[in-house]
Amino acid sequence: MSKLEAALNKASEPETSKCPNVVVLPGGNGYEAQLLAEGYLAEIESAIDEAEGQDKYLRWLHDYSRRQTEEKGNHSRLQERGRA
């Protein structure tokens, strides 16, 4: 935040709390994480379906889920061997 405040000061702009064109998301979230935190998952999925097609989205989701499961499995095997 201090770098942001310094940049605003250098640009002769007010501090973040008084600058209407600066938005600071809570909890250090990025834009996408904040949308999910505020409950927009259904809208995000719908937009992806519309833009990419449901089949492509479902393949991506399946592949992502598989990779997560594999990573957890690999981590568990490393833990069993005392390497994690």
pTM over 0.85: no
* Angle value at C-alpha 46, between 42 and 50, nearest 5 degrees: 175
First to last CA, the chain: 35
Tens of pLDDT along 6-22?
Answer: 998 999 888 888 888 88
pLDDT(3) > 80: yes
Query: CA 33, CA 25: separation in Å to the nearest integer?
Result: 10
* Angle value at C-alpha 62, between 56 and 63, nearest 5 degrees: 90
Tens of pLDDT along 35-80?
Answer: 988 999 889 888 888 887 777 778 888 888 888 888 766 555 545 5
